[in-house]
């Protein structure tokens, strides 16, 4: 077997081993490794670009969120101001209507009291006349004589005065 014969085949095998090793080393160093290095460099460049884009997008998103929050705060403040203004306006309008209604009701109460006073005076006058008639009829029925109308009116007037009417 030739591989066990160290003297005859050993030196040529070492030479061919060295030639093959040097050839493969040169091929790897000149062809394969630069391509692999270029791929790794390209990959690293893409990763760096993506990280830069991500940082830029993150900054833009944070700016958008800040602008949104600012706009939201301004909108809320504006809404509160509009609501307060509308509430104040409605309260003022309600107060004016309440004053108008109170004035109208006071006028109606005064008019009603005046009508009641007039009706009371008419009723009292009617009561006085009826009381005079009834007293005259009662005297005529009880005593059997017709009473003097002036005396009956005086007696009714005295009775009404005693009752405070």
Cα–Cα separations (whole angstroms), residue 96 to 31, 51, 73, 103, 145? 96, 66, 34, 11, 69
Question: Could you report the per-residue pLDDT of 113-128, keeping only the tens digit for each?
Answer: 999 999 888 887 777 7
Question: Could you report the per-residue pLDDT of 9-55, keeping only the tens digit for each?
Answer: 677 888 999 999 999 999 999 999 999 999 999 999 999 999 999 99
**pTM value surpassing 0.85:** no
How far, rounded to the nearest angstrom, does the alpha carbon of residue 72 sit from its chain's CA centroid?
14
Cα–Cα separations (whole angstroms), residue 138 to 21, 39, 69, 158? 160, 138, 96, 17
Q: How far apart are CA 47 and CA 113, in angstroms?
A: 96
Mean pLDDT value across residues 129-139: 81
DSSP-derived secondary structure letter, 32: I
């Amino acid at each position: 077997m030739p591989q066990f014969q160290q003297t005859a085949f050993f030196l040529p095998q070492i030479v061919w081993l060295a030639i093959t090793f040097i050839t493969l080393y040169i091929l790897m160093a000149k062809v394969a490794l630069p391509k692999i290095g270029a791929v790794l460099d390209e990959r690293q460049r893409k990763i760096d670009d993506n990280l830069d884009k991500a940082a830029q997008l993150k900054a833009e998103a944070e700016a958008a969120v800040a602008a949104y929050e600012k706009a939201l705060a301004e909108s809320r403040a504006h809404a509160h101001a509009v609501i307060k203004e509308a509430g104040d306006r409605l309260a003022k309008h309600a107060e004016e209507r309440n004053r108008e209604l109170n004035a109208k009701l006071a006028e109606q109460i005064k008019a009603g009291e005046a009508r009641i006073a007039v009706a009371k005076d008419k009723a009292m006058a009617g009561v006085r006349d009826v009381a005079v008639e009834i007293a005259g009829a009662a005297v005529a029925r009880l005593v059997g004589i017709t009473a003097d109308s002036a005396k009956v009116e005086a007696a009714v007037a005295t009775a009404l005065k005693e009752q405070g009417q």
